Amino acid sequence: MGVQVRAVPWVRQLVIDTGRAARRRHAIHGLFEVDVTSARAALRRNGEGHYFTAFVIHCVAAAVAEDPTVQAYRDPRGREVVFDEVDIGLPVEVVVDGQPFAFTHVLRDAARRSVDELYDEIHAVKTDPHLSPSVRKAPWVHAYLLLPGFVRVALLGSLHRLPHRQRALAGTVGVTAVGMFGAGGGWGIGFQLHTLSIVVGGVARRPIFFQGVLVEREFLQLTVSLDHDVVDGAPAARFVGRLRELITSGDGIRPAVSWMKPA
């Protein structure tokens, strides 16, 4: 039986470093389901099923904007830095040197942008990754990888203590859309690189009693992870509750569907 021995691709080394640095966070995780039957029906009627990721990001940004403390960071002096604008860091998979790699593209000021605007930017970056400032920084990544491993991990681990650098490089909130990488349901727990990180999982269909009638509904599976050093349970619960409302109502879909009866 043959054996292959090969060097670890540089893009994989970045993932390893990130995982090691993320262990320093005191994260709490919540796994939730959100009824998206009405929202997905509205998207299908408008021929916009591919907008779903952008729609969820829009809802996340809107919920964060209502209570920005869930995206707060602490600086080296222990002060909380709370940004007014919501910058969403979204992993987008591309092929780099023949290897698949998910780089983080930052959607700036996402709470003030429409679903259409967010989708257009995501689609453009997936089509041409070099449109993203993150990809254009690849030469700096190669220089970073020349550093010893413990130095690299220490630098990544300290990023959340430098709020303005965190925002510039990775955004203020992390959203990972599993559906962008492949089909399938279920929840996921990603690396905790932000104070607030959300993994958008699959959509499950199941029968439930709804308004006294047994019907089949669609449920989006979400994982919400928070840095407990910064965010307590009460604001976390309020955020999740508001996020549920926005997604369930179909807030932000063109045309607005918040007034629609459930499909």
pLDDT at 152 over 60: yes
Q: What is the mean pLDDT of the chain?
A: 82
Note the pLDDT tens digit of each residue in 39-54.
888 887 666 656 888 9
Note the pLDDT tens digit of each residue in 220-233.
999 999 998 899 88
Q: Which of 70, 47, 48 is nearest to 243 (CA)?
A: 70
| Average pLDDT of the segment spanning 26-35 | 89
Residue 72 burial (CB count, 10 A): 20
Per-residue CA distances from 81 to 147, 169, 257 (Å) = 29, 16, 35
| Average pLDDT of the segment spanning 183-211 | 82
Residue 43 burial (CB count, 10 A): 21
Is 109 strand, coil or helix? coil
pLDDT at 260 over 50: no
* Rounded CA separation 24/37 (Å): 38
Lowest mean pLDDT among 139-148, 162-171, 220-229: 139-148
Is residue 1 exposed (0-12), middle (13-18) or buried (19+ Cβ within 10 Å)? exposed
| Average pLDDT of the segment spanning 108-125 | 92
Domains of the chain in start order, with CATH, are 10-249 (3.30.559.10)
CB 55 within 8 A of CB 43: yes
pLDDT at 187: 80
pLDDT at 97: 65
| Average pLDDT of the segment spanning 31-46 | 84
* Rounded CA separation 37/45 (Å): 12
* Rounded CA separation 196/238 (Å): 13
Residue count of the chain, please give it. Answer: 263
pTM: 0.84
| Average pLDDT of the segment spanning 56-67 | 95
